[in-house]
Amino acid sequence: ASNRMWGGRFASGPDAVMEAINASIDFDRKLYAQDIRGSLAHAAMLAETGIISTEDEQKIAHGLNTILSEIEAGTFEFSARLEDIHMNVEARLAELIGPAAGRLHTARSRNDQVALDFRLWVKEELERTDQALSRLLGAFLARAEEHAATIMPGFTHLQTAQPVTFGHHLMAYVEMLGRDRSRVRDAIERLDECPLGAAALAGTGFAIDRHMTAEALGFREPTRNSIDTVSDRDFALEFLSVAAICATHLSRLAEEIVIWSTPQFGFVRLSDAFSTGSSIMPQKKNPDAAELIRAKTGRINGDLIGLLTVMKGLPLAYSKDMQEDKENVFDAAETLDLMLAAMTGMIGDLEVNRQAMKKAAGSGYSTATDLADWLVREAGLPFRDAHHATGRAVALAEEKKCALEKLSLEELQAINPAITDDVFSVLSVSNSVRSRTSYGGTAPAEVRRQIRNWKKRLKRD
Ligand code: ARG
């Protein structure tokens, strides 16, 4: 049978393989609510501008609402023969209301229709992501507050560097996720233009009111160039980029959780709710959720690269290639939602071993910089000389297999005679941490100040 949408020109129907490669209904049915919402707004505008009759508009609206409830009740029959969500809805509309259904597509093309549906969907997903990030930020802030003064080793090259507080470390993620959230909002801001009315690519001769549909659909304004409108998928690419960056942040923390929860580190214990056991080794408690967060980041990166590759080199305006934009976005959205929820749960019930963290913070000569700084401050040495003297002290401690503060005053004075008893006050991890009061530093008072600011900010938006 020839196609009901373009059968005029076609004598026979498509090959089964053609139908299979062409159909998108298996995934774009996800856009049903956006598709119907867009059609309702379009029909209302067509009636308002006198392009269709009010009577037809009422029939169309009634039919579309019936379809919406059929889909939501699970009684709607999707058909691959009808290719995509747009034609599935329109064909059913014709069944329900007859010839008036044929007027809905006046001054519209599937090209602006799909651009609209997808934009609406991505906008809603970005709003969901914003909410999920806000919940995760809340979880971080609560734990950071609790651990503003909990001392742990800070690392560079994964080698003990300087003592920091666990609250400060968590607040580093608050900064990253806060930027992710502002990227989400930027993306919403930029996609907030309504594609409807661009039609196939050139606009339309009908006297439509694009401002009216834009407003009805909650967009700031209509898009300004009809060719760009049906060609553009940057909004999807932006969502994927934001998702990939955010996932990357989550995966770094996931990696740290994997490391911290090893018996060798023992900094944290995952709750039973967010870990798994082993079917053979009874002692095991595995950080599967963290590992999967780490791994799923690869998948989201793949989704981004996939769509960038689809779009690269496509001539303007619409090409069917662009139908391949959806699955990557749906996959990344579902994956990121799950990752954010899992991280929120994991952070919320992470058990922290303060003793293990503090003990590790004191090993590895983590206060060597404090000794060097003391020599600069109290003995007037240039930093490079102080660095050298401290290096000798570390070498001596290493040789004696003891901590820096366990060296005697005599031993330290043999390295530099200006050293006095006072030096021991800076060699403890607590004093080291407490002294880092510079803006954004690890001193508990400063960490608490940043937490307070973030809490205010989170409440505000
Ligand atoms: N299913 C199509 C897509 O997702 C809808 C647009 C089709 N437009 C067209 N000219 N064939 O891109």
DSSP sequence for 40-72: HHHHHHHHHTTSS-HHHHHHHHHHHHHHHHHHH
What pLDDT is attached to residue 13?
Answer: 84
The protein residue whose alpha carbon is closest to atom 7 in ligand 1 is: 110
- Cβ of 82 closer than 6 Å to ligand 1, yes or no, is no
pLDDT in tens, 47-72: 999 999 999 999 999 999 999 999 99
pLDDT for position 2: 59
Q: Give yes or no for residue 24 CB within 6 A of ligand 1.
A: yes
Determine the residue of 105, 320, 326, 329 to mutate for testing ligand 1's pocket, defined as the one with the most ligand atoms within 8 A of the Cβ atom: 320
CA of 20 to the centre of ligand 1 (A): 14
Name which residue sits closest to atom 2 of ligand 1, judged by CA: 323
Neighbour-count burial of 239, counting CB atoms closer than 10 A to its CB (0-12 exposed, 13-18 middle, 19+ buried): buried
Q: Which atom of ligand 1 is nearest to the CA of 326?
A: 4
Give the pTM.
0.93
CA 96 to ligand 1 center in whole angstroms: 24
Q: Does 284 or 345 have the greater pLDDT score? A: 345
Q: How far is the CA of 111 from the centre of ligand 1 (A)?
A: 6
| Known active-site residue 438 | no
Ligand 1 pocket check for 113: Cβ under 6 Å: no
Return phi, psi of residue 133, to 5°. Answer: -65, -40
79 alpha carbon – ligand 1 mean position (Å): 16
Q: Cα(261) to centroid of ligand 1, in Å? A: 49
pLDDT score for 4: 66
Q: Which of 285, 286, 287, 291 is nearest to 250 (CA)?
A: 291
Interatomic CA distance for residues 397 and 158, integer angstroms: 21
Q: Is the CB of 256 under 6 A from ligand 1?
A: no
CA dihedral 446, 452, 453, 455 (to 10 degrees): 140
User: Using a 6 Å cutoff on CB, does residue 323 contact ligand 1?
Assistant: yes
User: Does the CB atom of residue 150 touch ligand 1 within 6 A?
Assistant: no
Residue 433 pLDDT class (50, 70, 90 cuts)? very high
Instruction: Name the residue of 110, 322, 325 to mutate for ligand 1: max ligand atoms within 8 A of Cβ.
Output: 110
Query: What does the longest C-alpha to C-alpha distance in the chain come to?
Result: 101
* Contact between 193 and 203 (Cβ < 8 Å): no
User: How far, in Å, from the CA of 23 to the mean position of ligand 1?
Assistant: 10
Helices (H), 312-408: 326-348, 354-362, 368-379, 383-399
Beta strand pairing status for 268-269 and 221-222? unpaired
- Give, using CA atoms, the residue closest to atom 4 of ligand 1: 323
10 Å CB burial of residue 327 (0-12, 13-18, 19+) is middle
* Ligand 1 mutation target, pool 3, 30, 84, 327, most atoms within 8 A of CB: 84
Phi, psi (5° rounding) for residue 154? -90, 145
Mark residue 175 as left, alpha or beta (left: phi above 0; alpha: psi -120 to 50; beta: remaining): alpha
Ligand 1 binding pocket mutation candidate from 18, 25, 323, 327 (most atoms within 8 A of CB): 323
Given 79, 278, 319, 363, the catalytic residue:
278
Element spanning 163, H or E: strand 159-165
Query: Which residue puts its alpha carbon closest to atom 12 of ligand 1?
Result: 323
- Is the pLDDT at 1 greater than 60? The verdict is no
Distance CA 373, CA 381 (A): 9
Average pLDDT of the residues in 116-144: 98
- Cβ atoms of 450 and 440 closer than 8 Å: yes
Rounded to an integer, what distance in angstroms lies between the CA atom of residue 230 and that of residue 110? 9
**DSSP string for residues in 84-134:** SHHHHHHHHHHHHHGGGGGGTTTT--HHHHHHHHHHHHHHHHHHHHHHHHH
Residue 114 CA to ligand 1 center (angstroms) comes to 7
Q: CB 205: neighbour CB atoms within 10 A?
A: 8
Verify whether residue 249 is a known catalytic residue. no
Q: Is 164 in the pocket of ligand 1 (CB under 6 A)?
A: no
Specify the pLDDT at position 134: 97
Cβ proximity of 41 and 216 under 8 Å: yes
pLDDT digits (tens, 9 = 90+) for 180-236: 999 999 999 999 999 999 999 999 999 999 999 999 999 999 999 999 999 999 999
Buried b (16+ CB within 10 A) or exposed e, 258-287: bbbbeeebebbbbeeebbeeeeeeeeeeeb
Q: Could you tell me the sign of the dihedral formed by the alpha carbons of 133, 136, 142, 147, in that order?
A: negative
The average pLDDT across 368-394 equals 93
* Ligand 1 neighbourhood includes 261 CB (under 6 angstroms): no
The per-residue pLDDT for range 24-54, each reduced to its tens digit, is: 999 999 999 999 999 999 999 999 999 999 9
| The pLDDT of residue 450 | 98
Please indicate whether residue 318, judged by its CB atom, sits closer than 6 Å to ligand 1: yes
Burial of 384 (0-12, 13-18, 19+ CB in 10 A): exposed
State the DSSP code for 318: -
The question of ipTM being above 0.85 is answered as yes
Cβ–ligand 1 contact at 110 (below 6 Å): yes
